[in-house]
């Protein structure tokens, strides 16, 4: 079951790979690395320069929770006004749930 869940999350995450990696240490993409996202602070990739909007968001939201990540994936601009991510959100609750399970395993 866990393997099937991970595969669904990896498949749903495919649209994110153009800007984000989940591979430890991979840099150079237009978005931050998301490796171990649930085990570090929001805006916690020390190799990435976050926007002022994201830094302000991180100051009041220290950790990603499944609920917070769901709200972000649904409408990033609504949750973090002024963020610089060129992504308009995922309508599919199933895809959001799969990505959340992939990025925040065990949560």
Q: Dump pLDDT digits (tens) for 49-64.
A: 999 999 999 999 999 9
Q: Provide the whole-model pTM.
A: 0.90
Tell me, what's the pLDDT at 104?
95
CA distances from 46 to 12, 57, 59, 92 (A): 26, 16, 15, 31
CATH of the domain at 57: 1.10.760.10
Round to whole Å and give the CA distance between 23 and 36.
9
Instruction: Please give the residue range of the domain that contains residue 94.
Output: 2-103
What's the number of domains the chain is made of? 1
Round to whole Å and give the CA distance between 15 and 57.
24
pLDDT one-digit tens code per residue, 7-21: 999 999 999 999 999
64: nearest Cα among 29, 95, 103: 103
């Amino acid at each position: 079951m866990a393997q099937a869940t991970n595969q669904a999350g990896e498949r749903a995450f495919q649209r994110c790979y153009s800007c984000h990696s989940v591979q430890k240490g991979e840099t150079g993409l237009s978005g931050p690395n998301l490796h171990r996202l649930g085990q570090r602070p929001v805006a916690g990739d020390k190799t990435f320069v976050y926007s002022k909007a994201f830094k302000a968001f991180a100051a009041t939201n220290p950790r990603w929770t499944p609920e917070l990540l769901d709200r972000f994936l649904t409408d990033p601009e609504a949750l973090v006004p002024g963020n610089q991510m060129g992504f308009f959100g995922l309508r599919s609750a199933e895809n959001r749930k799969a990505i959340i399970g992939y990025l925040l395993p065990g949560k």
